Amino acid sequence: MQNSFYREIINDHNLRPMHKKEIEGANAEKRGVNPSCGDDITLKLRVKDGVIEDGGFTGDGCAISQASADIMLDMIIGKTEQEAERLSEIFRRMITGKVSDAEIGELEEAGALIDVSHMPARVKCAVLGWHTLDAIVQGENTEA
């Protein structure tokens, strides 16, 4: 039952992504590519005073990569870059099976991707959006 609930969340974000669009005034951008699956996204954020004010992605890929990027944006818009990085770190540990139940709760809908931890071939799909986010945040930090 839980599995079909998770599948529904992923399907919904894949078929009707809220954040798959260009955003106004983006000031940070990175492309993320996962050649093993063919996922190719560009993540754009508008960051002001360390807060992610808005974000969106464009590009294409499998259902898991698209849903994961969309869910991620749901979670990080309105948060500081540090908070987003912390969620990214928890997400990555979930995907590698090293996470507590409380932490899964913190991941909200992103917890729907926990089954990917049993699908090694899909791990790169699930982390692509988060990986691209890290590249943006860490790139900015080194500039500051």
User: Which residues contact Zn ion (rule: CB under 5 A)?
Assistant: 37, 39, 62, 65, 125
- In whole angstroms, the minimum distance from the beta carbon of 122 to Zn ion comes to 7
28-34 sheet: strands from edge to edge: 28-34, 39-48, 51-60
* Spatial distance between the Cα atoms of 51 and 132, rounded to a whole number of angstroms: 17
Q: How far is the CB of 134 from Zn ion (least distance, A)?
A: 18
Smallest distance from Zn ion to CB 102, Å: 29
Q: Which is nearer to Zn ion, 28 or 67 (by Cβ)?
A: 67
Of the pair 38, 78, the CB lying nearest Zn ion is at 38
The DSSP symbol for 99 reads: -
Q: Which is nearer to Zn ion, 33 or 62 (by Cβ)?
A: 62
Shortest Å, Cβ 107 to Zn ion: 19
- Which CB sits closer to Zn ion, 28 or 43? 43
Count of C-beta atoms within a 10 Å radius of residue 59: 18
How far CA 104 is from CA of 14, 69, 96, in Å, comes to: 21, 17, 12
Residue in the block written with tokens 């002001």: 48
